[in-house]
């Protein structure tokens, strides 16, 4: 059971990773005439990923705060 949960967690992570990679690539990489990534594209991709990670961290933090408040409210109601 735990192994199945770990596999599903990993699949969810890969799905999210692929979505972010595709979104950042689509938004940032526009020059296909060169084999190298130029500085503007690299900076854009780094900022895109950084923004996503910060947003995910913030949403997770707010969710934990919300869960804690709900648990405290339910504990006080009992």
- The pTM of this model reads 0.70
What CATH number should be reported for the domain holding residue 40?
1.10.287.810
Tokens for 23, please give them. 């979104």
Rounded CA-CA distance 44/2 in Å is 38
> DSSP code of 35?
S
Rg, Å, the chain Cα set: 19
Asked if residue 30 is part of any domain, the answer here is yes
Q: What is the mean pLDDT of the chain?
A: 91
Question: Mind listing the pLDDT tens digit for each residue in 12-40?
Answer: 999 999 999 999 999 999 989 989 999 99
Confidence check: pLDDT of 77 > 80: no
Domain that holds residue 30: 4-73
CB contact at 8 A, 29 and 49:
no
Name, in order, each residue with C-beta under 8 angstroms of 52's C-beta and a sequence gap of 6 or more: 20, 24
Does a structural domain hold residue 10?
Answer: yes
Q: In this structure, is residue 78 part of a structural domain?
A: no
Q: Note whether residue 67 is domain-resident.
A: yes
């Amino acid at each position: 059971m735990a192994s199945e949960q770990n596999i599903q967690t990993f699949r969810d992570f890969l799905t999210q990773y692929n979505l972010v990679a595709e979104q950042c690539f689509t938004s940032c990489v526009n020059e296909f005439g060169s084999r190298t990534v130029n500085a503007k594209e690299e900076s854009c991709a780094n900022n895109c990923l950084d923004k996503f990670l910060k947003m995910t961290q913030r949403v997770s933090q707010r969710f934990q705060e919300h869960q804690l408040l709900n648990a405290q409210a339910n504990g006080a109601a009992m």
